[in-house]
A and B are shown apart, each in its own frame.
Chain A
Amino acid sequence: MTSELDIFVGNTTLIDEDVYRLWLDGYSVTDAVALRVRSGILEQTGATAAVLQSDTMDHYRTFHMLERLLHAPPKLLHQLIFQIPPSRQALLIERYYAFDEAFVREVLGKKLSKGTKKDLDDISTKTGITLKSCRRQFDNFKRVFKVVEEMRGSLVDNIQQHFLLSDRLARDYAAIVFFANNRFETGKKKLQYLSFGDFAFCAELMIQNWTLGAVGEAPTVPDSQMDDMDMDLDKEFLQDLKELKVLVADKDLLDLHKSLVCTALRGKLGVFSEMEANFKNLSRGLVNVAAKLTHNKDVRDLFVDLVEKFVEPCRSDHWPLSDVRFFLNQYSASVHSLDGFRHQTLWDRYMGTLRGCLLRLYHD
């Protein structure tokens, strides 16, 4: 006696959260059944392995049918085939678009094209995440990227509107899309200590301050403006950043800046002497990063540069985080007292974001 056909269709589509998780994690039906058996469900319910097998198959089939709709979540809401309560719909979508930290760190900032897909195998081996799950996560990134790429308006809003994600998840996707679009390097060894959360935090700050959308000139920009408002950095702004070079190029200005900072921080910093000794290097590093951002290559290396030029020197001198904060605050603020410096607004737009990013990046 073999079972040829075995199905269960409810008027309200049954969703088993545990099985959904197993499915999302890319387990085959056989593996999923084995995992469920191990969870002790047979003992709890008195069911047999055959029942479990049939149940798992059934859920997998349902998820498979739902997957097409999950690719465009608004379709899931409007479709008539599966009657699913709204709370369950939200759960299905949210879980489908959720991703693994380990996976996202591998692809963050990489080009979301087919070429990278070949690497999924390696990522799977490296992270222990099933290839199937990697593919889903990668395809999710790519899909979201494709949809919002050409769109105007707030990145987070666009993502939320087209994928019906929670605020938190939409922000994460905005960061992923932003990183993918600007191709920020995140995979270098010295960046390995950073979490996705660190990058997402920086991405949010940069989207808020450094993009076209950030300046609020968006609605008046004519259609010929091809740049995406939230995804691309404000080119003009990057050009202008060259002007900051004067802060390190002009020796008087640099000395004045240093003395202002040192006066303000004397006695307040545990690592004052180190700071005093390193000030010029640090300042040069930060300003040079700004000045180089006109080149795409250097934009990509932004995080590498920040870590190399600022985080690592401070860390090697064992600056506590509070001292870094004091320093950066003072370092930014003191510029306002430099009479010869005319680019105060530009400085604030640059340094305000950078300060936030650096503080977030500064940890072990």
Chain B
Amino acid sequence: MPGKLKVKIVAGRHLPVMDRASDLTDAFVEVKFGNTTFKTDVYLKSLNPQWNSEWFKFEVDDEDLQDEPLQITVLDHDTYSANDAIGKVYIDIDPLLYSEAATVISGWFPIYDTIHGIRGEINVVVKVDLFNDLNRFRQSSCGVKFFCTTSIPKCYRAVIIHGFVEELVVNEDPEYQWIDRIRTPRASNEARQRLISLMSGELQRKIGLKVLEMRGNAVVGYLQCFDLEGESGLVVRAIGTACTLDKLSSPAAFLPACNSPSKEMKESPLVHPPSHGCRSTHNSPIHTATGSRLTQNFSVSVPTLIYTGMGSGSAGKEGGPFKALLRQQTQSALEQREFPFFTLTAFPPGFLVHVGGVVSARSVKLLDRIHNPDEPETRDAWWAEIRQEIKSHAKALGCHAVVGYSESTSICEEVCILSASGTAAVLNPRFLQDGTVEGCLEQRLEENLPTRCGFCHIPYDELNMPFPAHLTYCYNCRKQKVPDVLFTTIDLPTDATVIGKGCLIQARLCRLKKKAQAEANATAISNLLPFMEYEVHTQLMNKLKLKGMNALFGLRIQITVGENMLMGLASATGVYLAALPTPGGIQIAGKTPNDGSYEQHISHMQKKINDTIAKNKELYEISPPEISEEIIGSPIPEPRQRSRLLRSQSESSDEVTELDLSHGKKDAFVLEIDDTDAMEDVHSLLTDVPPPSGFYSCNTEIMPGINNWTSEIQMFTSVRVIRLSSLNLTNQALNKNFNDLCENLLKSLYFKLRSMIPCCLCHVNFTVSLPEDELIQVTVTAVAITFDKNQALQTTKTHVEKSLQRASTDNEELLQFPLELCSDSLSSHPLPPAKEHLESASSNSGIPAAQRATSVDYSSFADRCSSWIELIKLKAQTIRRGSIKTTVTVEKASPVGDGNFRNRSAPPCANSTVGVVKMTPLSFIPGAKITKYLGIINMFFIRETTSLREEGGVSGFLHAFIAEVFAMVRAHVAALGGNAVVSYIMKQCVFMENPNKNQAQCLINVSGDAVVFVRESDLEVVSTQQPTANCQSSCTEGEVTT
């Protein structure tokens, strides 16, 4: 049963003039929840009414509390005609339903109208009294906490990570109902906003029920999306990771000594016996989706791709039997689950044992216009199918779980591409079950699990690899095999060792497609998809090598479908993992070697590429201490010769395993240029301009190699739409346009944020959509964070010292491996004798380094790709190389450097009447400590205009709307008593225009976690006081005024 919702309307301000005669407004307020409505008195003739109403009380089921939003409508009283609506405020009261979150919602909310935007503000107080009876969780799932953050939230401890939860609900889209023909755009927009709000509430409640069934108490990495399927309906779907979380309540957490989140995370999650914070008596089946059913009569499943960093591992010496045991356990823990997926991208230390590589699946579906209520679960079935595929891909990689998992759709007319991707991984079972069984095992695990480089070691069997791959011994521990490149969708693990800094790497691709209908269209798309995936992958690989790096994190590939084209955009953060081999260079091969001028041209290109690689290495400070006769730009072997050499190369590696080290070190990636297409590709490689000095960018949480963040952050959203000239569009022209669009966008960002230098753009999130035939829309959300250059120097120094120490201990451990020992000592202080030794080792293999190359032959590409599997194989061949190990360990930046911020805090924003609310797509705030999570923010807005020109054209319209969305998010957070939104994401920004009619419409969906944070500098001052109280007083002080 029930709860009592209490609402008080205090005052309004800055209301618009509704009565032209008096230049004033007679405002009153309707408060609606469910089917109950209350009204305030009319406050005559004022733009700043003081209603000071009584408490309006709603007695409701907690089920309704979860589903329904509180709806507040401000109206202008009119004696003679209908009252005019000024605008509305929807308040999600979910945060009031958790015991630890907010207790009251109180503050100024912007009054929003879908036609006019924000029109003044209203001060509202909302409270909920929940009756605490035993049947509390019967229909509802009150008490289950939701987090958008894709890691364990900072002030919690994961007792158990249960696993994947998903749900979707469908309904008719009000915009497409018959009634829409006769109602106003405002009414239609409001119906849509309300419906999505209701569906979100329902979805969240249902997910909550599933979590309770799994005996969890929270959902982490909650990602909710909606699909506008046009006439076939509206789908709201969500995925997340169910967990049992424990609040870290120790006062020690507030002491300055523990102020770094990473430190906090290091507390072993199993120090205390696990306890289930939640009781569950619920046993009823999940409600089925309501509303109109969507059906499908056509579907194409696209052969999918497994990107990996190849390799095998269990052959490793001591690790072997142990790993098998581990795998068995994980398997048993995970096999109970239908889908062993985790939406998390960052994990408690030790959780991630091995990473296999990226797994992804796509499927092209036709949305059907025909209602078929007898087949309600079509969407569920579609997703189940895709998830099954992902699961089997992971299995093929010897992994039992998929981490960093996400799902997305792209819809154009009746065609829908469903995509899912994640990173196949082997997990440590102790987080997945009740942990009581395995006391002793745990001990051993902790002793033996390789730290730092463990996750790089391949999870599958070397002898039974899913595809040909090139493996070397780990450059860190030398015991296990590692692949030569690693692609993942997760964040860089905190304990990973990287060299230098990382950078944003993007692959961009367009493909024209004939306009077609229904099945023909879907078939055409399905046929194009594999080629796109392949090319995107090749581009990523080339760019990664051009940067001199060997691993990608946070990989996100978005395929967008339009009327006459497909767009692919892959973003990831490249890094140099110390455990993986040094990537070889890129070589260019010409098809006609006898043509002198052509060769000259080729060698010129080669030089350019080599220069770029060298420049990038310098730029990103990638300097693995290696002995090197590294010749990147060596002559290209002739094809015939090449194949022969390939064979001999493998022979040599078979013969002398120790030589793995030097073997393949100079392997280069060969691009064969035989037609203009390939030429274009090479050119496009070189057109990516590095960010101006002082700027870095990445799409992961933080930049590898930077660990001294200062407290200044600037979150932003930038949107660009370009119109293509429709004449004779070719793939090349399209690619160039798209590439320019993205590059120019980035350049603009760098220019705009130049005052923040030195700074890093983190969590750069590109979204592409094709709203119309010739329009391309790119939306970017990211956060710029400043860092301190001087302190960077200091910290690297200490890191070097640390690594020196580590190197020496490594030496003692690894005495039985002479070669490894020698390279270890090399890395810390390169000595000439060692160099000789290695050189001799490499000469032993008897193969000139530069000739160890494989190639992609572009000309014969199409012929050879008779099947997709071949494609994969081909690709696998193209990405093998090896190099020398390094031991310099630059510890991955903890988000907040220990003590680096002590003396630097933002100047206090005194005298401000509006409390500052920070927004960031990251899960943390630099220089600050999150003390409380207040609940999830999930908001959906529609804005429409019929006077586009008057509002400053499309740019003016969208600029104002996005600013308004930010304002509404901030107001809700402030009303909850928070001062920041973390893990903020703009999940959808659908923009449609009709300039001829002077109209435009935009839909925006955003979400994030409302939090209270305290500056670390403040913490030190008031460490004895109650930080939460302290903060709340400081942030409420501004809001409740005038």
Contacts and interface: CB of A to CB of B under 8 A. Distances in A.
B751 A86 contact: no
Contacts of A2: 722-723, 725
A253 interface: no
Contact of B914 (A1, A5, A52, A78): A78
A65 B910 contact: no
Interface in A218-232: none
Contacts of B963: 9, 13, 65, 81-82
Contacts of B797: none
A316 B916 CA distance: 62
B913 A78 contact: yes
Contact of A64 (B692, B714, B716, B952): B952
B982 interface: no
Contact of A10 (B110, B121, B715): B715
B959 A61 contact: yes
A46 B912 CA distance: 36
B15 to A, nearest CB: 12
B714 A1 contact: no
B835 interface: no
A11 B922 CA distance: 14
Nearest to A77: B913
Nearest to A48: B747
Contact of B960 (A54, A65, A75, A86): A65
B960 A4 contact: no
B871 interface: no
A94 to B, nearest CB: 15
A11 B918 contact: yes
Interface stretch (B222-230, B809-817, B966-974): B966-974
A81 B118 contact: yes
A5 B110 CA distance: 26
Interface of B is mostly: mixed
Given A6-B955, A64-B952, A50 B722 contact: no
Contacts of A10: 714-716
Contacts of A77: 912-914
A5 B954 contact: yes
Contact of A80 (B718, B721, B971): B971
Interface in B895-919: 909-914, 916-919
Interface of A is mostly: mixed
B720 A5 contact: yes
A55 B716 CA distance: 14
Q: Which of A8, A14, A54, A80 has the most CB of B within 10 A?
A: A80
Contacts of B959: 7, 9, 58, 61-62, 65
B775 A4 contact: yes
Interface string A1-35: 11111111111111000000000000000000000
Contact of B720 (A6, A9, A61, A86): A6
Interface string B794-818: 0000000000000000000000000
A259 interface: no
Q: Which of B716, B718, B751 has the most CB of A within 10 A?
A: B751
Contact of A86 (B910, B955, B964): B910
B719 A51 contact: no
B14 A83 contact: no
B954 A4 contact: yes
A50 B752 CA distance: 13
Given A8-B748, A11-B714, A11-B919, A61 B952 contact: yes
Contacts of A3: 720-722
Nearest to B984: A11
A5 B991 CA distance: 11
Interface residues of A, number: 39
B705 to A, nearest CB: 23
Given A83-B966, A85-B909, A86-B911, A78 B954 contact: no
B962 interface: yes
Nearest to B121: A80
A290 B13 CA distance: 49
B335 interface: no
A12 B918 CA distance: 8
Contacts of A82: 963, 967
Q: Which of B692, B741, B966 has the most CB of A within 10 A?
A: B966
Contact of A45 (B692, B714, B966): B692
Interface in A54-81: 54-55, 57-58, 61-62, 64-65, 75, 77-81
A57 B954 CA distance: 13
Given A2-B722, A83-B917, A14 B966 contact: no
A357 B551 CA distance: 77
A46 B750 CA distance: 10
Interface in B730-751: 737, 740-741, 744, 747-751
Given A9-B963, A11-B716, A81-B118, A51 B748 contact: yes
B284 interface: no
Contacts of B988: none
Nearest to B971: A80
A86 B910 CA distance: 8
Given A1-B722, A9-B966, A81-B967, A45 B717 contact: no
Contacts of B967: 80-83
Contact of B721 (A5, A79, A85): A5
Contacts of A61: 952, 955-956, 959
23 contacts: A1-B740, A4-B721, A4-B775, A5-B720, A5-B955, A6-B721, A7-B958, A7-B959, A8-B752, A14-B714, A50-B744, A51-B748, A55-B748, A64-B952, A78-B913, A78-B914, A80-B118, A81-B118, A81-B964, A81-B967, A83-B966, A83-B967, A85-B916
Closest 5 CB pairs of A and B: A5-B721, A10-B716, A4-B721, A11-B715, A9-B962
